[in-house]
Amino acid sequence: MAEDFIPSTDFRSQLTATAGDAFVAEGFDTSAGRVQPSDRPDLADFQCNGALAVAKAAKANPREVATRIQVRLNDDERLQSLEIAGPGFLNFKLNDAALSMRGNAIAGDARLGAPVVAAKRKVIIDFGGPNVAKEMHIGHLRTAVIGESLKRIMRFLGDDVTGDAHFGDWGLQMGQLIVGVSEEMPDLPYFDEAFSGPYPEASPVTLADLGRIYPKTSQRIKGKDLDFLNAARKATRELQQGRPGYRALWQHFVVVSREALKRDYALLGVEFDLWNGESDADPYVEPMIADLEAKGLLVDDQGARVVHVARPGETRKKKLEDGSVVEVPSPPPLLAVSSEGSAMYGTTDVATILQRKTEIQPDLYLYVVDQRQAEHFEQVFRTAYLAGYAVEGQLEHAANGTVNGPDGTPFKTRDGGTLKLHELVSEAVEKAVARLHEQKLGEDLSVAEFNATAHKVAVAALKFAELSNHRLTNYIFDLDRFMTFEGKTGPYLLYQAVRMKSILRKAGEQGLVPGAIVVGEQAERELVLLLDGFDGALRETYLKRAPNILADHVYRLAQAFSKFYAACPVLVGDDEAVKISRLGLVQVVLKQLELGLDLMGLSAPGQM
């Protein structure tokens, strides 16, 4: 909402304030003056529909109400026209002088028209969720890309933002790895309880070893190998109780995995401020369980301990094995302690909230995680609210959909496997190289510059494909389509940015310097109106946690530039005043385009 931001000077804010005053002067509420971009940009720049609502409440004629507002605003110096359409819509069209003034204001603004939050909040964004011993795959792409963009946007708009990878480094999978390694390398000192150290500094296992051992041990557990399962549980318990050899070996697992994950994230330009793992919350688990017990929230359930989070009357139908249907609580209880006495996955997540409250004290906890985890987070959040670890609304799940193959199911490789993230980036870079050669782009670059450009094009293709879809939308992965230099793609945006840089570079060679913007042509009007819309696009992106809104703005800006470039020659002609004005427009469009790209985690090369 508007009160979340410092008042802006964009046209929508200006006209809303002016129209609101006019409605108040006519005896109506100021909210009736809300102005928005026109649904018919061929007829008007902005529209106000408030006359219809207030007229209905006042039992008045809406066109007559609109006429009274029109009379009060007709002398506004910013307006070329103010017309009434249909049953009482007010259509605003700005004049060239107002557009010129706004274009120059944005050009002179270090933030290029972007809003600023009214009250700075401390925000922690939990995104990524990589795990020990598991290489990241295409399924990790969405959370990484969306989370990184939201982190950048919220930080740029004024919040104090911390990005946490929330590393999966605890639980039964660690025990199964320990047992798996012990079977392959039983003579390692980590398994000798009499060994007093020091333990080797070099890891006895590589990421490839872990990637081989983990699925083998998982299959044994899935295959009901009870001896192995019991050994893994015992190793997990001893690890969590602090057995020195197991802790030392586990630390190797963590370091080897984390360094590989950091390299993969770096390929995408994704960074985390914290690499806290589930293990970091472990010291909070035992006292938290005691606290939940003291508050009467833990309930015995078939030997386990649960927290009932459903409100009275919240139920859903569940079909039992015998075919009968019963009503069960919805969401179901949070399993806090298993019948074997172990803290569960959800318990660790609640403990992580408590840890973050203690160590960081965020105002907002934002989880960028697959929507298939929605029920889990509902259980965790409600438990935290019931226990008083957070207040209602402080915990938010910014869910995302899945990356699907042509069959509409989560993407798999041709052999049915999962495409690893570093393989995906390599494939995208190869495709970018081919596309650049096909388009005869980058031919004058050095080998190093060409390779750097290809990497930027590849990353732009992957990330913009993610961000141009709403985060809840499941979308079809099609690298060929993402990699084109036409249409709504990352490479198209980079190409338009490079064209602008080329124009400015050539202007400099001719001794021309960008000057004050003077709007005169329709294509210039459209560009300034889009520059002005940056404020609204970022507000909506921030409030809805939806980078696709920013992505759409940046794409439309690039499109409008292309139209302007075709209609309004910049470096040809005899009128130097026109040249420097249009150069000024090119310069500010480039700046805002590159800022938008950076907020999405994209970067345009200098040349192609």
CB environment 536-572: b (16+ within 10 A), e (fewer) = bbbbebbeebbbbbbbbbbbebbbbbeebbeebebee
pLDDT at residue 583 above 80?
Answer: yes
CB atoms within 10 A of CB 248: 18
The answer to which of 72-76, 310-314, 446-450 has the lowest mean pLDDT is 310-314
pLDDT at residue 574 above 90?
Answer: no
Better-scored residue on pLDDT, 475 or 566: 566
pLDDT of residue 412: 64
pLDDT digits 0-9 by tens, 412-439:
665 556 788 999 999 999 999 999 999 9
Candidates 357, 402, 352; CA nearest to 377 is: 352
pLDDT of residue 2: 43
Candidates 31, 79, 78, 85; CA nearest to 54 is: 31
Candidates 582, 587, 585, 513; CA nearest to 102 is: 585
Q: Read off the pLDDT of each residue in 448-475 and give the average, rounded to a whole number.
A: 96
The whole-model pTM stands at 0.93
SS3 at position 218: helix
| pLDDT band of 587, cuts 50, 70, 90 | very high
pLDDT of residue 129: 87
The answer to which of 200-209, 358-367, 399-408, 422-431 has the lowest mean pLDDT is 399-408
**Burial level of 376, CB count in 10 A (0-12/13-18/19+)?**
middle
CB environment 119-136: b (16+ within 10 A), e (fewer) = eeeebbbbbbbbbbbbbb
Candidates 425, 370, 422, 377; CA nearest to 401 is: 370
For the chain, the average pLDDT equals 94
Quote the CA–CA distance of 209 and 137 in Å, as a whole number: 17
| pLDDT band of 197, cuts 50, 70, 90 | confident
Rounded (to 5) percent helix, strand, coil in the chain: 55, 15, 35
Candidates 164, 160, 163; CA nearest to 119 is: 160
pLDDT of residue 434: 97
pLDDT digits 0-9 by tens, 525-539:
999 999 999 999 999
CA distances from 517 to 14, 356, 574 (A): 20, 49, 17
Domains observed in the chain = 2-94 (3.30.1360.70), 172-267 (no CATH), 277-400 (3.40.50.620)
pLDDT of residue 1: 41
Quote the CA–CA distance of 363 and 577 in Å, as a whole number: 51
Is the CB of residue 531 less than 8 Å from the CB of residue 103?
yes
pLDDT of residue 415: 55
